[in-house]
Structure 1
Amino acid sequence: MAWDIGDLLIRRVITGVSRSDSVVPITSALPTFHVTELWKTDSTPASLSQEDDLCAGPLELEPPPCGTLLRYLEFPPDSVWQGKVVGSEVFGAMGDSGRAAIDTDAQRHELMHQTHTLDYIIVLEGEIVAILDDSETVLQAGDVLIQRGTRHAWSVRGNEKCRMVAVLIDARKPEL
């Protein structure tokens, strides 16, 4: 069940004390889903003198506590993976931090989950459906979704993959 990403290369240019211009490897949480960690911080405000590449460690679903995460994502069409994966395996492959809520009995979508993050998500290419508990929203190239800690999942119902960039920012749980 391999999904060909073709000649996709992501170039990451880092400025500052320690400079870098390199191609970043694409990490697969599953053979059908690709994610590239572009930059990660472990504090807010972020340190501009951070020398270590925190993305060099294992893939994680959420940023570190008080941190941020810049991520490139590629979702295949649902027809490629539905019925062939188990939600707990998907999130297990993404290094679940234990802070996220994974809904293994989700009625709306088998990959329903909730992170305690504020996410800025920009659709670069394709079309994807943001699935929430009570609604669905179709997003296309150029659209931006501000995801504020809600339970959600993603669905590509067409025949073409969807490419997105997401900034995840650690957030406090809502006070009820």
Structure 2
Amino acid sequence: MRRIVTVEEDGCSKIAIDEEVSTATWYQEIWAHDDVDQLGSDPGVVPRELIPEPGQTRWRMVSLPPLRELEAEMDELRAEGIENPRQTVEVDADGWHKTPTLDYVLIFDGPVELVLEDGSVMVQPGDTVVQRATNHAWRNHGDKPIRLLAYMTALR
């Protein structure tokens, strides 16, 4: 995925960053905005927590592996005594989690199942989800990783 970031210098708009974004991890930070930095900063320069603090935002591409691969990976890591290796939020054995964020999600690949406490819905490529700090889980029933583009805004 290519990332282009603009900047204004000396009254002139120009390209500040034009690069391929690495997809080596299960999520790739595209941009980060902290309340102390009005325009945000390159996430490659500043370490970031998974969940933004109040006043902060995160824009990231998430790669969700097939459910059977994810379950096998989690079982293996738990057997080694490593709990919750993929996130810094409370996630149960079935992938349920809740973050104190308002998330705007665009489904790139799919289908993927969005599971909520009262049921689930299959979302397709091009579908969008507005996740309003609710308990949920994502399930990729396919045989290839799928990508979700997520913009997370921390709630106060």
TM range (shorter): 0.7 to 0.9
Q: Structure 2, unaligned stretches of length 5 or more?
A: 10-15
Q: 1:54–1:158: structure 2 CA closer, same or farther, 3 Å change rule?
A: closer
The equivalences for 1:102-117 within 5 A come to: 102-104=90-92, 109=94, 111-117=95-101
Q: Kindly provide the CA deviation profile for residues 62-109 of structure 1, in whole angstroms up to 9, marking residues without a partner as x.
A: 123211110011112112221331461222xxxx2xxx4x143x5xx2
Q: Which of these residues, 139, 149, 168, is aligned with residue 133 of structure 2?
A: 149
CA distance in 2, matches of 1:119, 1:71: 11
Q: Is the 8 A contact 1:36 1:73 kept in 2?
A: yes
SS in structure 1 opposite 2:69?
helix
CA distance in 2, matches of 1:160, 1:54: 27
Q: What is the CA-CA distance between 1:25 and the residue it aligns to?
A: 2.0
- Which position in structure 1 is the counterpart of 2:59? 70
TM-score when normalising by structure 1? 0.72
- Which position in structure 2 is the counterpart of 1:26? 23
The one-letter code sitting in structure 1 at the alignment partner of 2:46 is G
The one-letter code sitting in structure 2 at the alignment partner of 1:26 is T
Say which is worse superposed, 64-73 or 15-24, in terms of deviation: 15-24
Q: What is the CA-CA distance between 1:115 and the residue it aligns to?
A: 0.5
Q: Is the 8 A contact 1:114 1:151 kept in 2?
A: yes
Answering whether residue 107 of structure 2 is matched by residue 123 of structure 1, we say: yes
SS in structure 2 opposite 1:81?
helix
Q: What is the CA-CA distance between 1:17 and the residue it aligns to?
A: 3.0
Q: What RMSD over aligned residues (CA atoms) do the two structures have, in Å?
A: 2.2
Q: Is the 8 A contact 2:114 2:123 kept in 1?
A: yes
Give the total of aligned pairs: 143
Q: Which has the higher contact order (CA 8 A, sep 6+)?
A: 2
CA distance in 2, matches of 1:137, 1:56: 37
Say which is worse superposed, 131-140 or 77-86, in terms of deviation: 77-86
Q: What is the CA-CA distance between 1:59 and the residue it aligns to?
A: 4.8
- Which position in structure 2 is the counterpart of 1:12? 3
TM-score when normalising by structure 2? 0.80
Q: Is the 8 A contact 2:101 2:154 kept in 1?
A: yes
- Which position in structure 2 is the counterpart of 1:39? 31
Q: 1:165–1:103: structure 2 CA closer, same or farther, 3 Å change rule?
A: closer
Q: What is the CA-CA distance between 1:54 and the residue it aligns to?
A: 3.7
Q: What is the CA-CA distance between 1:134 and the residue it aligns to?
A: 2.1
CA distance in 2, matches of 1:43, 1:53: 14
Q: Structure 1, unaligned stretches of length 5 or more?
A: 1-9, 29-33
Q: What is the CA-CA distance between 1:125 and the residue it aligns to?
A: 1.5
- Which position in structure 1 is the counterpart of 2:116? 132
Q: Kindly provide the CA deviation profile for residues 10-33 of structure 1, in whole angstroms up to 9, marking residues without a partner as x.
A: 2110001371111222242xxxxx
CA distance in 2, matches of 1:55, 1:135: 38
- The percent of aligned pairs where both chains have the same amino acid is 29
